[in-house]
Structure 1
Amino acid sequence: MPDAVAVVTGYLRTALAAAGEPVSVVSRIPSPRPDRFVRVERVGGTRATPVSDRPRLDVHAWAETEAAAADLAELVRALVHAIPGVRGGVTVYTVREVGGPQWLPDDVSGSPRYAFAVEVHMRGFVTAMK
């Protein structure tokens, strides 16, 4: 199966830059941590068929203020829902929100953060066993 996090982070980097919001989009919290960034992580999901996957992804948006974090999360949320199509050579069929935006200040630093969760249905690859 394709790396869902790589597909979504790559798409979001491009889409955010095109929207005039060149924000770091990562799978791990960077050190040093920028004031504004988005983190995407796979937290589960299921294989839908032998050739498709339904990963569950948590998406977190950090920013300088609560309002800025909320705005960034809403922009990213809209972009994630627009992902169906071919992205980085991978077919994305649908996006289903499984948890709407929630205020989730960083438990270590207290930095403003919002998070939401989606299930992304994407086509995988057929691998033959030898």
Structure 2
Amino acid sequence: MNRPVVVMPDAVAVVTGYLRAALAAAGEPVPVVSRVPNPRPPRFVRVERVGGTRQTVVSDRPRLDFHAWAGTEADAADLAELVRALVAAIPGVHDGVTVYWAREVGGPQWLPDDVSGTPRYAFAAEIHMRGRVL
């Protein structure tokens, strides 16, 4: 029996695109990136894939870390909480990719940037999304 060939989506690209639009719609148009920009903007969000597993033959369950940088600890906490709420609301179709669910696997934590000392909060989530059958 031949199994289908399934290509999984770039989870970081899907989620960063979704968050850029969702943050702008919420009145918080901050950069959402996969790498720390140089020069650093005063406020930004970084999304990084740190693992995860294939959920089914046709779906992926990436684990993503979310980091929110801002000028003050309170602003970084607020930005992280907004991103956290938006990640919980991600189920749907984004850029042609079906997202089934998001599950938090590590709640917000104070994590000042070890290079710049800039205030930062981080949390982790798993996102279940469908791949594309070739």
Tell me how far apart the structure 1 counterparts of residues 116 and 27 of structure 2 sit (CA, whole Å).
Answer: 27
One-letter amino acid of the counterpart of residue 127, structure 2: V
Structure 2 alignment gaps of length 5 or more: 1-7
Report the aligned-residue RMSD.
Answer: 0.5
Task: Using structure 1 for the length normalisation, give the TM-score.
Answer: 0.97
Aligned-residue offset at 1:50: 1.4
1:19-98 to structure 2, matched below 5 A, reads: 19-98=26-105
Structure 1 segments (4+ residues) deviating >4 Å: none
One-letter amino acid of the counterpart of residue 22, structure 1: P
Aligned identity (percent) is 84
- CA deviations 1:51-93 (Å, max 9, x no partner) are 1000000000000000000000000000010000001100000
Task: Using structure 2 for the length normalisation, give the TM-score.
Answer: 0.94
Q: Does 1:100 align with 2:100?
A: no
One-letter amino acid of the counterpart of residue 118, structure 1: A
Tell me how far apart the structure 1 counterparts of residues 87 and 95 of structure 2 sit (CA, whole Å).
Answer: 14
- CA deviations 1:18-46 (Å, max 9, x no partner) are 00000000000000001100000000000
Question: How many residue pairs align between the two structures?
Answer: 127
Aligned-residue offset at 1:125: 1.3
Q: Does 1:11 align with 2:13?
A: no
One-letter amino acid of the counterpart of residue 21, structure 1: E
Structure 1 alignment gaps of length 5 or more: none
